[in-house]
Amino acid sequence: MSDAEVEQALKDVNVIDDTNLNEVMLSVANPNEAVAYFERTIAQYPNRIDLRRGLAKSLVRAKKPAAAATAWKTVTEMPGSTSEDRVDYADALIRANNWSEAEVQLNRVPPTHETFKRYRLEAMVADSKKEWKKADSFYETAVGLTTTPSGTLNNWGFSKLTRGDYAGAESLFSEALSYDNSLFTAKNNLVLARAAQRKYDLPVISMTQIERAQLLHTSALSAIKQGDVNTGKALLAEAIDTHPQHFDAAVRSLEALENGRTVDG
């Protein structure tokens, strides 16, 4: 092989090694280490869009949404950017609480780009504007595009909860748990939706002893807020008895109630 051929062969190997390292940095590395790695490498290869994507994703993982949004904006302005890049840009904007610009970016995604993430974000934006019909339509579409819809169903249920559609919320939280019965947020939200309908008994769902105590506490506080004080007292006592260790929050709530003080929720 000539010197030029050897150099090209080595360069090709290095590209493959770089690609593998990029994947490793995105999956197992500490997010801040990944950010530093991509920043260093971008200084050498500023025009490589894969490195720019890696930096943006790492900034999201490192919980630096404003910086991630800036990084994704750069990606969307580079040759070779895709509709998925713009969706990821909108996601970072939402994480940075920039809802209006997120909507602008989602509106620039072509309708043919039909992905779970796109519709989940569309639903969240519609929710933020209290456009309930649009939100419901987007949530329904998103759920149909994934095999793991529990988190989205939980979000949809919470949207219904904030609107006062407690029965609708209860149904969605139950459905979320049918896909993932370990999702404690959905369990807690389910109890809130039931309690809002004055159904204070716990639903028949999988739960640990600690979770049962915590859910009884949630139901108790909801009952007290709705004026069902005696029911709330009984539920607090049950929560304290159920918890395998000392349940400080429930003890404090019961003591405050018995001493005529306001119960913190």
41's enclosing H/E stretch is helix 31-44
The contacts of residue 227 (CB under 8 Å, 6+ apart) are none
* pTM (two decimals): 0.84
pLDDT at residue number 3? 62
The CA distances from residue 81 to 37, 54, 109, 205, in Å, are: 22, 13, 12, 45
Cα distance between residue 175 and residue 181, in whole Å: 10
Contact between 220 and 247 under an 8 Å Cβ cutoff? The reply is no
Instruction: Answer whether 118's CB lies under 8 Å from 144's CB.
Output: no
pLDDT value at position 16?
A: 41
In degrees to the nearest 10, what's the CA dihedral of 137, 138, 143, 148?
A: -160
Q: What is the pLDDT of residues 44-99, one digit of tens each?
A: 899 999 999 999 999 999 999 999 999 999 999 999 999 999 999 999 999 999 99
3-state SS class at 121: helix
Q: What is the pLDDT of residue 256?
A: 86
Predicted confidence at residue 257, as pLDDT, reads: 83
pLDDT digits (tens, 9 = 90+) for 217-248: 999 999 999 999 999 999 999 999 999 888 99
What is the C-alpha separation between 74 and 160, in angstroms, rounded? Answer: 36
* pLDDT of residue 10 exceeding 70: no
Supply the pLDDT for residue 30: 87
Share of the chain above pLDDT 70, in %: 90
Q: Is 114 left (phi over 0), alpha (psi -120 to 50) or beta?
A: beta
